[in-house]
Amino acid sequence: MPVTPPPVMRSLVTATPPHQVTQAQVREAARTLFPRMAARQTLLDAFDNARIETRSLARPLDWYLDPRGFGEKNATFLTEARALTEQVARQALADAQLAPEDVDAVVMVTTSGLSTPSLDAWLIERLGLNRHAARLPVWGLGCAGGAAGLARAADLVRAGHRRVLFVAVELCSLTLVRGDESKSNFVGTALFSDGAAAAVVTAPDVPGPAPRLALHGAYSTLIEDSEDIMGWDVVDDGLKVRFSRDIPTLVQGMMRENVAQALGAHGWTRDDVRHFVVHPGGVKVIAAYEAALGLPGGALDASRAVLRDYGNMSSVTVLFVLEETLRGDPHGRGLLSAMGPGFSAEHVLLDFH
C-alpha cells in the first residue's frame, strides 16, 4: 500500500505589538505595581534571572500602572488580537501564494482573552476567507497551544481539508493583576509578553512555494493529577496566572521517556532527530530539557534567543522558535515540543526540507 505524503508547511509569519519595553523598564514598573514584593531583592532578582532583555506589550507600559477591570482588559484583548491576527494571517496567505477564498479550514489558538464568536469567525469575515471553511477555535492549552494547534492543522489536512490557515495570538500582559502580590503574579510579570503567529499548512500536491517542512505526526500527554501546576484563576480583575510545583524538575523527570514515546509512536528514535524546537517557558525549563534529553551545548540556542528578545508569549512562543530555527536552514528531522496547563506535553514531528 502506498504511503500518503505528510502535510507540509508553506509559510510561517510572526508579529508583536508595537509597544516594546526593556526588562529593566518592567522591573522598575514592578516597584509601583507590587511595592511589598519589590522591596525584597531576592524576588526582584527574578527579572534579571529570567534572561529576558526586551518584550512587546499590547499597551504602553504606563497603561498597566492603573487599575483595570476584566471588561476593559478583554476589550483591549479583542482590539489588539484582531489587529495582530489580521496582520499575520494576510502575510501567511500571501507567502503561501494562497487566495483567501481557497482556505478550507481555520485553526485559531489563544488562551489569554475571551471572544464569542471566536476570533476565527471575525478573521473569515475580515479577510474574505471561504465561508464554508471548517473552524477549530482552541482555547485553554496555554503554552502548549502552539504545538497542539500546528498538530491539529496537519490533522485537518490529513482529513481532507487541503489548505489550512493556523493562527495563534496571545496577549499575556493583559492578565497582569495590579496589586496582587502573589508570587505567581509577580513571576508572570517578569516573564509574560505578547505576540502572534500564522502558518499555512497544505497537502503536498497543492500548488505553491517550496515547503518549509513536513509534519509527520504528533503526540499528546496529559499528566495525572496535575491540574494545579499551571493555569488561570478567574478573579474580579481578570485572568490570574497560577503556577504550582516545580516545572523544571517535572520536565527533567519525565521528558526523556515522553520524547522517546512520542518518537517511537511514529517509528522514529532519538538518534533520528537533529533539531529540537522547544518552547522556552523560562531559562530553568530550557536547562531541564537539555539535561533530560542529553542535548549538546547550543542545541537550544533558538529557544534562548527568542526568550531573550521576546519573553514568554505562551502558545505563540514555540512558533517564534520554529521561525528562528528555519533561519538557520535546517535539514533532517526535528521535534517541536511545548508544555502547558493540564498539565500536558505536546510534540510535533518535523522533517525540514
pLDDT at 112 over 90: yes
- Does the fold of domain 213-352 match that of domain 8-202? yes
- Catalytic member of 138, 143, 196, 278: 143
Architecture of domain 8-202: 3-Layer(aba) Sandwich (3.40)
pLDDT at 244 over 80: no
What is residue 165's predicted lDDT score, i.e. its pLDDT?
98
In the chain, the percentage of residues whose pLDDT exceeds 90 is: 74
Distance CA 225, CA 325 (A): 34
Domain locations along the chain: 8-202, 213-352
pLDDT (tens digit per residue) in 46-97: 888 899 999 999 999 999 999 899 999 999 999 999 999 999 999 999 999 9
CB-based contact 10:204 (threshold 8 Å) = no
The CATH homologous superfamily for domain 213-352 is Thiolase/Chalcone synthase (3.40.47.10)
What is residue 2's predicted lDDT score, i.e. its pLDDT?
56
What is residue 246's predicted lDDT score, i.e. its pLDDT?
76
pLDDT at 121 over 80: yes
Measuring CA to CA, which residue among 89, 92, 168 is closest to residue 338? 168
What is residue 35's predicted lDDT score, i.e. its pLDDT?
82
Minimum mean pLDDT range among 10-14, 132-136, 180-184, 269-273: 180-184
CB-based contact 341:140 (threshold 8 Å) = yes
What is residue 245's predicted lDDT score, i.e. its pLDDT?
64
Quote the cell numbers at residue 119.
Answer: 476570533
Residue found under cell 487566495: 99
DSSP string, 149-213: HHHHHHHHHHTT--EEEEEEEEEGGGG--TT---HHHHHHHHHB-EEEEEEEEE-TTSSSSPPSE
The mean pLDDT value for 91-106 works out to 98
Active site residue 172: no
Q: How far apart are the first and last CA of the chain?
A: 25
